[in-house]
């Protein structure tokens, strides 16, 4: 069981984590986890190009290491990247030393100060150890595109029904998500545009 929308009450309880990026530009932040994938990520990039919007890709280090050309394409198109760890470890199931070392290893192929904890699972001690070097980016809304018990219409609803300026929305450029993600993303981008939202990349400070 997991929350599709992060309630605002959580934000003050996790001060080292970024759940949203409030702004007066009506900007939102579309993000992708688990790539880069040699086929799916370019498909996502084409959709983003068609809609003339920018996004942020949280890359698994070993995937980025295997596909550096895709990482280059992401950056060349004006999108931003962040680390999603090297081996996609859960912070709740990994000791602090190994967890921090895994993220440091990912830095060799994902040069960014943005980090998203795999599964959203990170301990207080881990976040305190990382906060000086990384912006730890969570989310406001999960599309749940990886979950095959949901339909495209379900995923679209999760990705859109509570969106507001500053929202951070998660999709996945992965094999597991592909059957739902691409169609959901296309519908969502059209919806965000119709609602007057600007879609921007999260700055890599």
SS (H, E, C) the chain: CCCCECCHHHHHHCCCEECCCCCCCCEEEEEEEEECCCCHHHHHHHHHHHHCCCCEEEECHHHHHHCHHHHHHHHHCCCEEEECCCCCCCCCCCCHHHHHHHHHHHCCCCCCCEECCHHHCCCHHHHHHHCCCCEEECCCEECCCCCCCCCHHHHHHHHHCCCCCCCEEEEECCCCCHHHHHHHHHHHHHHHHHCCCEECCCCCC
The one catalytic residue in 20, 33, 34, 173 is: 33
172 is catalytic: yes
The one catalytic residue in 37, 84, 172, 173 is: 172
34 is catalytic: no
Catalytic residues, by residue number, are 33, 172
């Amino acid at each position: 069981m997991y929350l599709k929308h992060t309630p605002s009450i959580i934000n003050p309880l996790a001060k080292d984590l970024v759940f949203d990026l409030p702004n007066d530009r009506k900007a939102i932040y579309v993000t992708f986890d688990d790539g880069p994938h040699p086929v799916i990520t370019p498909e996502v990039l084409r959709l983003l190009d068609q809609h003339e919007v920018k996004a942020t890709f949280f890359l698994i280090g070993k995937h980025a290491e295997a596909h550096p050309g895709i990482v280059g394409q992401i950056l060349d198109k004006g999108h931003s990247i962040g680390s999603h760890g090297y081996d996609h470890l859960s912070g709740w199931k990994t000791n602090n030393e190994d967890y921090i070392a895994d993220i440091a290893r990912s830095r060799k192929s994902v040069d960014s100060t943005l980090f998203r904890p795999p599964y959203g699972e990170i301990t207080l001690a881990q976040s305190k150890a990382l906060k000086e070097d990384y912006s730890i980016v969570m989310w406001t809304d999960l599309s749940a595109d990886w979950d095959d018990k949901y339909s495209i219409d379900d995923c679209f609803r999760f990705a859109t029904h509570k969106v507001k300026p500053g929202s951070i929305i998660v999709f996945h450029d992965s094999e597991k998500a592909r059957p739902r993600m691409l169609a959901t993303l296309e519908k969502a981008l059209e919806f965000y545009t119709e609602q007057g939202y600007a879609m921007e990349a999260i700055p890599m400070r």
